[in-house]
Structure 1
Amino acid sequence: MPEIKYFYTCLELWGSFFANAVAIYLYLSKSVIRKQYRTLGALELIVGVMLFFDAVAWFFRGVPGPVVHSILIASNYITILCNAFLPVAVMAYTVYSVEKEYRTHRMLMVVTGIGAFNGLFYMIAQSRNFIFSIDPVTNLYHRGAGFGIWSALILLETAGTIVYLTIKREHIEKRRFIVIMSFVILPLIASVLQIFIYGFSLSNIAIIIASAILFGQAVNSNTRTLVEQTIFIENQEKILEDLRTQIALSQIKPHFLYNALNSIYVLCDQDPPKAKKLINNLSEYLRTDIGSIGTGKTISFEKELDHTNVYLEIEKARFGDRFVVEYDIEVADFNIPPLTIQPLVENAVKHGVCKKSPSDPGVITIRTEQGYGFVKIIIADNGVGFDLAKYNAMDKSSTDKIGIANVRDRLKILENSEMNVFSEPGKGTTVEIIIPNKDK
């Protein structure tokens, strides 16, 4: 029946092309299940080679001629030899499909040993045409007396995979277990049927179908694993960012307290009653509000402004008339991260207005503006200013840069917030903070 002959030829050539393309893809693609992809690639490669040479055998089947006779012997020889190593590849893929902590290789070694024996037995037996023969006149394939023994040895290899699959079924992804079992069972059933039905490549048809299912499941598993890892990494990045936030807070709190207490220390000699009053203010601030700093949550703008005013009272008591503070609060009903304004005002005092001549009082302005969908906070001073290019080139750990860097970290609590710094030597510094206002 020439139609059957050419049908199987085309079917197996297509199957060979698909399996080899899949093998190349699995070897070259980047995967989070690398060992599974590599072992599946080896399996698909064996399938591709086996199907190609079986297609050649089908195409030249019954075509007379000595050259065709040699082609048929070689193609059938390779096709059947591939059957000895295919169960080993299936077994390897099965092993690497098991969860790592439950994975064992003893059965793989057993199946590999049986496969090696089968390959050696086949090469020796076929030297006497014990497995198959090709009629030199008709160029038709005939099973040999040892075909049944050969098939039994292949079944023995396959049995090892079935046993291992059964033992480890609880530690293999359910879908993976089903498709591997189908790859084992479908060709096995087809092989048994083929013992009694001659002239049809039932086992190869089953292998084509099963290998396509196996590949599809592997790609699906890899995709799901990639998605899960992406989500895990995003969660870890969020946790890491929160940790950085807490570290920044742990740096800011002692920094603020050290500066406040140092200023009060100076006043203890200059003006003890004022120092006493400031200690009382600071203790009240610590008692009522310091807890909000360590939470990593936002607080009301009014509360943050109160924190800042406590600091400014301390510094005003120390520096006298060296600077004044002006307020222009257009909007106050919004939240910001704790210790957002105070470090910037501290920079304005320490590195801005107080570096000017005592005869030239400085001005610090704290202003808020309502925008469409956002609130802008502006902290400006007419102090000595600085070179932004040199500042940006400084190391992040520099003490002159840590205050602004910590505020930037604080602002990450609020999505889409930003901070811009403008400064010019001799003219002062302006810091703008933009806070999204979802109520607007």
Structure 2
Amino acid sequence: MLEIKYVFNCMELWGSFFAIVASIYLFIGKSAIQDQYKSLGRLELLAGIMLFFDSWAWYFDAVPGALNHSILLVSNYVSFICNALIPVLLAEYVILSVDEEKRSKRVIIIVSVIAVCAVLFLAFSQISGFVYTINPETNEYKRGLGFVIWTVLVLLEANVVFVYTFLKKESMDKKRFGAIVSFIVIPIIATAIQLFVYGISLSNIAIILVALVMFAQALEDNAKMIVEQRERISNQEKQLQDLRTRIAISQIKPHFLYNALNSIYVLCDKDTDKAKEMVNSLSEYLRANIASIDADKPIPFEKELEHTKVYLEIEKARFKDRFKVAYDIQVSDFEIPALTVQPIVENAVKHGLCKRNYGAPGTVTIATKEDDGFVKVIISDNGTGFDLDEYNSRVRSEGEHIGLMNVKKRLEIMENARMEIASSIGQGTTVEIFIPR
């Protein structure tokens, strides 16, 4: 008849193999819950190590021999240590399973302190055999009087984690909560039974089962998160395409086209060469605006600057000597979202310079320079300026300065890109765009 210890030995070896393979998968597998995957991987790895050494302890139990005795000493000691450390890693996994703003690391500190006490208690009892003994002649494992104390310490760790999990159940996924509770409660029940039943490793068998449950739940959770991410990315792409279309269309304003065409009409009789230049500039302007609809990635700054110059040529033909343009381009080897500079320049010309009622023509300046990990694009004018507080109160309704809001939205395509506005009534406006290197 097959001895019961060999049944447990085989079960624990297979459980160890599964747990270690699961941990490897969690460490190297791509996931949407990377921190949680790695935390569970550490937990599964420790469980696998514990099951592996405990299987050796079962296999060599009551098998005489000096080498076997050494194996039993090491196997039992490592298995007990792992038992004390598993609740610590479980606490880490629970913390990462809670919504970020509701997390508290206090529980892992408490559990770690109890675990240290348990490990020290086990270490000091090795000489006296207070927790367990291994007969050097027969290699038979036997519990000591301190086994109950040891078990109580480990159960205390598990109960602390259980209380924290229960208190935070509203801040974690319901299925995750169920899997974690099963990892705590089932081994606790098995350990409690094991206190009164000798010769059956119920707690470790329970850990095999709940480790499988935890792994399966993490896979399901990750698959769900990946699906949600794909849906979110798909929605973002649709929103971005819609945004690009709306911004491109908004830049082709009817009154601008009417005024440009009217200027061309007048020039046809007075200066046909100038009229041809303006027709060419207008066609280039419209082509660049329409092309921006499909520009899902940032474009070279030089291309955006060229589009801005085309716009300015049209406006200069219309407004004659109403404004001047200055350039201070110190750096140009970077990319920027399409229709970023031109709308700001248009805003400066239309709402700043062309509303001046005093003195010489105003000036719009386009400049770029390096600035501590960023390229700074600066568009400034000495026009009429505006009240920033009033502007901030009007942007939600997409009022007079919609062009600036559109630029801000386009900059959101690039990580860490931003725009800052400074303006004073009667003095002008400065818009700074920060593009990360």
TM-score, normalised to structure 1, is 0.62
Deviation of 1:207 after TM superposition, in Å, equals 0.2
Counterpart residue type for residue 45 of structure 1: L
In 2, the alpha carbon distance for the partners of 1:258 and 1:226 equals: 51
Cα distance change, pair 193–241 in 1 and its aligned pair in 2 (3 A): same
Q: Which runs of structure 2 are paired with 1:109-188 in the superposition (5 Å)?
A: 109-188=109-188
Q: In 1, are the aligned partners of 2:264 and 2:278 still within 8 Å (CA)?
A: no
Residue matched to 2:250: 250
In 2, the alpha carbon distance for the partners of 1:234 and 1:170 equals: 29
Segments of structure 2 that go 5 or more residues without pairing to the other structure are 296-437
Deviation of 1:142 after TM superposition, in Å, equals 0.3
Residue matched to 2:19: 19
Q: In 2, are the aligned partners of 1:50 and 1:79 still within 8 Å (CA)?
A: yes
Cα distance change, pair 162–238 in 1 and its aligned pair in 2 (3 A): same
Deviation of 1:410 after TM superposition, in Å, equals 5.7
Pairwise CA RMSD: 2.5
Residue matched to 1:260: 261
Q: In 2, are the aligned partners of 1:20 and 1:44 still within 8 Å (CA)?
A: yes
Deviation of 1:405 after TM superposition, in Å, equals 4.3
Query: 1:145-191 deviations in whole A, cap 9, x for unaligned?
Result: 10000001011101111110111111110000001000000000000
Aligned residues: 292
In 1, the alpha carbon distance for the partners of 2:294 and 2:91 equals: 54
Cα distance change, pair 146–244 in 1 and its aligned pair in 2 (3 A): same
Deviation of 1:82 after TM superposition, in Å, equals 0.7
**Percent identity at matched positions?**
45
Cα distance change, pair 400–13 in 1 and its aligned pair in 2 (3 A): farther
Counterpart residue type for residue 120 of structure 2: L
In 1, the alpha carbon distance for the partners of 2:32 and 2:50 equals: 29
Deviation of 1:112 after TM superposition, in Å, equals 1.2
Matched, 1:8 2:8: yes
Cα distance change, pair 185–347 in 1 and its aligned pair in 2 (3 A): farther
User: Is the deviation greater in 252-261 or in 227-236?
Assistant: 252-261
- Any idea what SS the aligned residue of 2:195 has? helix
Counterpart residue type for residue 238 of structure 2: K
Q: In 1, are the aligned partners of 2:244 and 2:294 still within 8 Å (CA)?
A: no
Counterpart residue type for residue 24 of structure 2: I
In 2, the alpha carbon distance for the partners of 1:401 and 1:30 equals: 46
Query: 1:229-263 deviations in whole A, cap 9, x for unaligned?
Result: 11111111111111111111122226523422313
- Any idea what SS the aligned residue of 1:133 has? strand
In 2, the alpha carbon distance for the partners of 1:256 and 1:411 equals: 22
Cα distance change, pair 193–347 in 1 and its aligned pair in 2 (3 A): farther
Matched, 1:214 2:235: no
TM-score, normalised to structure 2, is 0.63
Cα distance change, pair 236–131 in 1 and its aligned pair in 2 (3 A): same
Deviation of 1:347 after TM superposition, in Å, equals 11
Q: In 1, are the aligned partners of 2:56 and 2:75 still within 8 Å (CA)?
A: yes
Residue matched to 1:37: 37
In 1, the alpha carbon distance for the partners of 2:259 and 2:56 equals: 86
Q: Which runs of structure 2 are paired with 1:69-88 in the superposition (5 Å)?
A: 69-88=69-88
Deviation of 1:399 after TM superposition, in Å, equals 7.6
Counterpart residue type for residue 122 of structure 2: Y
Q: In 2, are the aligned partners of 1:125 and 1:131 still within 8 Å (CA)?
A: yes
Q: Which runs of structure 2 are paired with 1:199-238 in the superposition (5 Å)?
A: 199-238=199-238
Segments of structure 1 that go 5 or more residues without pairing to the other structure are 271-317, 320-345, 352-397, 413-440
In 1, the alpha carbon distance for the partners of 2:276 and 2:223 equals: 50
| Bigger radius of gyration | 1
In 2, the alpha carbon distance for the partners of 1:18 and 1:9 equals: 14
In 2, the alpha carbon distance for the partners of 1:399 and 1:199 equals: 90
Query: 1:185-219 deviations in whole A, cap 9, x for unaligned?
Result: 00000000011111111111100000010011011
In 1, the alpha carbon distance for the partners of 2:228 and 2:277 equals: 47
